[in-house]
Amino acid sequence: MKIMNRRTVLVATTLGALLGVTAPGTLAFAAPTSTVGDRRAAPGCRPGTLDPTPVRQAIAGLPDADATSAQVRITTPDGCWTGTTGVRDLRSQHPAPPHARFRVGSVTKTFTAAMVLQLVAERRLDLDASVQRLLPGLLPADYPTVSVRQLLDHTSGLPSPSVPDDIEWQLAHRYDRWTPQQLVRLGLDNPREFDPGTRQHYTNMGYIVAGLLIEKVTGHPYATELDRRIARPLGLRDTYAPGDALRIRGPHAHGYQAVDRDGRTELVDVTTWSQTFTPAAGNIISSLTDLDTFLTALFAGRVVPAAQLSTMFTLPGVPDVSGGPARYSAGLTAFPLPDGETLWIKTGSRYGYLAGTASTRDGRFRVEYSITSTDAKGEELSATAQRVIAAALSLL
């Protein structure tokens, strides 16, 4: 086992900042803590000689002020380990269920990109085709040409919709239902961020439009195509797009959001929430086992043919809006390690839930996690997420 050192912690902190995972609040938490449940018998997860002590320690002691539960799956050449800790919900204090489903947030984009690239392989879409031709009337007539490729690699410049980010407004509107067309129109009330193809800025809007393209080309709802193209062929039993449904089907841990009210912090149960504000960009529900199965098959070329799969590992040659290099490909994020290797990652956050995946290109090292963070849409790195990332990197 490799030892966690300053280099590993520095990389983990930098990675956490890039991923946009979040920070703990200042909530005083008095609930009893739980031990880590070792699930070495998880499907397809053979222990081998892997010593998971760093990861087990990273998620021990939940619930606390930062998170109420966590589950992690890690695969290395030495073996595989899956573990869970925390509680299903604060009222019952029952342990978090094994193989729990969760909201994956922006990990959805990896699925969406894969489906678009499947359609490209089938010659039903062209990455260089314009959105204006494929979806006539969606964008204004005088809008600069936006390509399918630019939707996927965040270089479209399409503006995002503006809604209040105040948590009380979000809670009051969490059951609202939005259509993708509404979201595009709301976004277009704002000026475009930049000319298409000149910069990169990570947003949801390109993937919301990509979801509309999938529906237009196939003639089927996004959820149907997700099931037909990915979930059923790979045997994913926990993966689905919820549509208008507010709840998570099947076993799951509740998500909570810390809210400051009248000088004290309350934990509000945010498990039930409409995901229609992020269709095809952040709405999928899945599990660790399903994410690992999908990631393994995807990287091995069993989901997207090799000719199109290369797009997922190719960065656009434009700067990020921050001035740095582009980091985002179609559905993934590149994170170069000091030894010259690259981790291909994707994370997501919805209120109450943080999720993430990471893999080397050859798939020999893979990590999937879900954390029911108490501030999943915050601005800084979640303490639990930071520990998980550092522990995982110590085994790389």
Residue among 153, 120, 117 nearest 316 (CA): 153
User: Of residues 34, 106, 286, 329, which has the active-site annotation?
Assistant: 106
Q: Is 332 helix (H, G, I), strand (E, B) or coil?
A: coil
Bridge partner residues of 95 (DSSP): 87
Helix (H, G, I), strand (E, B) or coil at 286: strand
CB atoms within 10 A of CB 32: 7
Token pair, residue 1, equals: 């086992």
Q: Is 106 a catalytic residue?
A: yes
From 84, 96, 385, 86, select the one nearest 253 (Cα to Cα). Answer: 96
Which 3 state secondary structure label does DSSP give 222? Answer: helix
Closest C-alpha among 100, 31, 36, 89 to residue 388: 36
- CA dist 347 and 344 (Å) reads 10
d(CA 361, CA 345): 10
Measured CA to CA, the distance from residue 81 to residue 37 in angstroms comes to 11
CA 187 → CA 64, 139, 174, distances in Å? 37, 11, 19
Length of the chain: 396
Name the burial class of residue 6, with classes exposed (0-12), middle (13-18) and buried (19+) by CB atoms within 10 angstroms of its CB: exposed
Cα separation, 238 vs 250, in Å, equals 8
**Phi, psi of 186, rounded to the nearest 5 degrees:** -65, -40
Look at the alpha carbons of 137, 139, 143, 147 in this order and tell me if their dihedral is positive or negative.
Answer: negative
* Catalytic residue list: 106
